[in-house]
Structure 1
Amino acid sequence: MTRTAPSPDQPPRRPLVAILTGAGISTDSGIPDYRGPNGLWRRDPEAEKLVTYDAYMGDPEIRRRSWRMRQESPAFRAQPNAAHEAVARLERSGTPVRVITQNVDGLHQRAGMPERKVLELHGTVRKVTCTRCHARSSMEEALARVAAGEPDPACLVCGGILKSATVMFGERLDPQVLGTALGVAKAAEVFLAVGTTLQVQPAASLAGVAAEHGARLIIVNAEPTPYDELAAEVIREPIGSALPRLLAGLAEHPSN
Structure 2
Amino acid sequence: MVPAVGDAADLLRRARRVVVFTGAGMSAESGVPTFRDARTGLWRRFDPHALATPEAFDADPALVWGWYEWRRQLVRRAEPHPGHRAVAAIEARVPTVLITQNVDDLHERAGSRAPLHLHGSLFAARCSACDDPAPVPDGAPEPADGRRLPPPRCARCAGPVRPGVVWFGEALPPDALAAAVDAASGCDLLLTVGTSGLVHPAAEIPLVTARLGGSVIQVNPERTPLDPVAAVNLRGPAAEVLPALVDAAWGATARR
> Smaller-chain TM-score range?
0.7 to 0.9
Q: CA deviation at 1:77?
A: 1.8
> Could you list the per-position Cα deviations for residues 92-115 of structure 1 after superposition, in whole angstroms to 9, with x for gaps in the alignment?
2x2111100001111111111112
Q: CA deviation at 1:33?
A: 1.8
Where in structure 2 are the equivalents of 1:110-125 lying within 5 Å?
Answer: 110-115=109-114, 118-125=115-122
Q: CA deviation at 1:49?
A: 1.4
The one-letter code sitting in structure 2 at the alignment partner of 1:180 is A
1:53 aligns with 2:57: no
In structure 2, stretches of 5+ residues that fail to align are 1-12, 252-256
Aligned match of 1:79: 79
Q: CA 1:171–1:143 in structure 2 vs 1: closer, same or farther (change >3 Å)?
A: farther
Aligned match of 1:135: 132
Q: CA deviation at 1:146?
A: 6.5
Distance 1:162 1:155 in 2: 6
Residues 128 and 142 of structure 1 are in contact (CA less than 8 Å); yes or no, is this contact kept in structure 2?
A: no
Moved over 6 A (4+): none
Where in structure 2 are the equivalents of 1:220-231 lying within 5 Å?
Answer: 220-231=219-230
Q: CA 1:248–1:184 in structure 2 vs 1: closer, same or farther (change >3 Å)?
A: farther
Q: CA deviation at 1:208?
A: 0.7
SS at match of 2:29: helix
> Could you list the per-position Cα deviations for residues 14-63 of structure 1 after superposition, in whole angstroms to 9, with x for gaps in the alignment?
4211110001111122101236xxx448x877122111222222x11xx3
Residues 54 and 170 of structure 1 are in contact (CA less than 8 Å); yes or no, is this contact kept in structure 2?
A: no
Where in structure 2 are the equivalents of 1:7-22 lying within 5 Å?
Answer: 14-22=15-23
SS at match of 2:205: helix
Residues 129 and 135 of structure 1 are in contact (CA less than 8 Å); yes or no, is this contact kept in structure 2?
A: yes
Residues 16 and 96 of structure 1 are in contact (CA less than 8 Å); yes or no, is this contact kept in structure 2?
A: yes
Cα RMSD for the two superposed structures: 2.5
Q: Percent identity?
A: 36
In structure 1, stretches of 5+ residues that fail to align are 1-11
1:233 aligns with 2:232: yes
Distance 2:158 2:236 in 1: 49
Residues 125 and 163 of structure 2 are in contact (CA less than 8 Å); yes or no, is this contact kept in structure 1?
A: yes
Q: CA 1:85–1:158 in structure 2 vs 1: closer, same or farther (change >3 Å)?
A: same
Residues 90 and 251 of structure 1 are in contact (CA less than 8 Å); yes or no, is this contact kept in structure 2?
A: no
> Could you list the per-position Cα deviations for residues 68-88 of structure 1 after superposition, in whole angstroms to 9, with x for gaps in the alignment?
223322112222111110011
TM-score, normalising length: structure 2: 0.81
Q: CA deviation at 1:162?
A: 1.5
Q: CA deviation at 1:232?
A: 0.9
> Could you list the per-position Cα deviations for residues 153-189 of structure 1 after superposition, in whole angstroms to 9, with x for gaps in the alignment?
3323212132111111111111111111101101111
The one-letter code sitting in structure 1 at the alignment partner of 2:62 is R
Residues 197 and 225 of structure 1 are in contact (CA less than 8 Å); yes or no, is this contact kept in structure 2?
A: yes
